[in-house]
Amino acid sequence: MTATSAPARSGPRTADQHSHPHARRSRLPFSPWHFVLIPATVVLLFPFLWLVVTSLETDPEALHFPPILIPHTIRFANYSDALAAAPFVRFFINSAVVAVTTVLCNLVLCTLAGYAFARFRFLGRTALFAVIMATLMVPFQVTMIPQFIITKWLGVHVLAAVGINHIGALILPNAATAFGIFFLRQFFRTLPLEYEESARVDGASRLTVLIRIVLPLATPCLATLAALTFLDSWNNFLWPLIAVTSTNQMTLPLGLATFQGAHNTEWTLLMAGNVMSLVPMLIVFFIAQRYFVRSVAATGLAGT
């Protein structure tokens, strides 16, 4: 990081002050913004770091004051102990099944409904769409009690797999979302009609037009919806807390919370469990970082 290379690196697209006269006042060989960014990054990353350190310490070292920042002996057995104390692999599989199924259901159901609301004129369309928009405004806490009663009833009278205490109960109520339908409808409305019309003239059915013509154009939009739905499902806590009580049906957040309740003073065990719970998501997040970041940015920009 030298004085000569610093201005050369800042490209024309950035909002850096390199083109301003004020920038020349700086005598530092590097950008002064590092003074903001380095402490901030330490604060942002330290909890992660401390989590990993504690998960590898022995109990006497973890429960030592002042805290031991670099453990003398690395104890990987905390991880096997945590796995023996709670079925984290089961939690992970449950979370993955719930999240992936929820994403797939949303992609299919919201695409169909969003397209119909965007393109077809049918009896009751406006009223139906208004009802869906109304549900978008209401917080989950208002609907959760009846949702619990309905889910319980469904499990007893219709299908046990979607009832209370089954992971199906975590999928079905979120299989389609008002947000997803609205989001895709808005996108479909921006597409030019010509492609769809010419395919129709060639004799394609409406479903074929949707699959062959419209969906390829909607891929970025579908990726955004998939990323948002995945994050929501993966981190959902309140509904699983209400709907699931037996350990083998729990998702990661709920399993981890239950584990914390049972071992709330065994810090090394708890941190090992915590590391195992968040590492898979961190990996997925970094592989698909572009999509996650873009989707969050898209909701932000759409809201403005």
Partner 1 sequence: MAASVARAGVRRPARSTVMRRVLDSEQFNGWAFVTPGVAVILLFGAVPIVWSAVLSFQKSALAGDSSSVGLANYRQLAHDPVVGEAIQHTLIYTALFVPGTMLAGLLLAVAMNRKIRGITIYRTAAYATMAISTISEAIVFIWLFDPSYGIVNYAFSKVGLPQQQFLNSPSEALYVIVAMTIWGWTGFAVVVYLAALQGVPQSLLEAAAIDGAGPWRAFRKVTLPLLSPASLFLAVWLTINALQLFDEVYLSTQGGPLNATTVLVYYLYDQAFQQFNFGYASAIAYFLFLIILVVTAVQFWVGRRVTFYRS
Nearest approach, Cβ of residue 175 and partner 1 (Å): 5
Nearer to partner 1, 47 or 216 (CB): 47
- In terms of DSSP H, where are the helices of 191-237? 194-201, 206-208, 215-235
Which has the closest alpha carbon to 213: 119, 282, 81, 105?
A: 119
Nearer to partner 1, 10 or 247 (CB): 10
Which residue is listed with tokens 């009580």?
245
> From CA 293, how far away is CA 223, in angstroms rounded?
11
DSSP class of residue 174 equals G
Q: Is the peptide bond before 71 cis (omega within 30 degrees of 0)?
A: no
Nearer to partner 1, 248 or 289 (CB): 289
Q: How many CB atoms lie within 10 A of CB 35?
A: 11
Nearest approach, Cβ of residue 103 and partner 1 (Å): 14
> What does the angle CA 84 – CA 89 – CA 95 come to, to the nearest 5 degrees?
140
Which has the closest alpha carbon to 274: 108, 94, 126, 52?
A: 52
DSSP class of residue 111 equals H
List, in sequence order, every beta strand (DSSP E) within the chain: none
Which has the closest alpha carbon to 91: 294, 252, 298?
A: 252
Contact 55, 268 (CB under 8 A): yes
Nearest approach, Cβ of residue 154 and partner 1 (Å): 9
Nearest approach, Cβ of residue 219 and partner 1 (Å): 20
**Which residues 6+ apart lie within 8 Å of 40 measured at CB?**
none
Nearest approach, Cβ of residue 298 and partner 1 (Å): 8
Nearer to partner 1, 11 or 192 (CB): 11
Nearer to partner 1, 64 or 76 (CB): 64
Nearer to partner 1, 160 or 242 (CB): 242
Nearest approach, Cβ of residue 251 and partner 1 (Å): 10
Nearer to partner 1, 9 or 76 (CB): 9
Q: From residue 34, give the alpha-carbon distance in Å to each of 1, 31, 42, 46.
A: 12, 6, 12, 17
Nearest approach, Cβ of residue 172 and partner 1 (Å): 7
DSSP class of residue 18 equals G
Nearer to partner 1, 149 or 161 (CB): 149
Nearest approach, Cβ of residue 262 and partner 1 (Å): 13
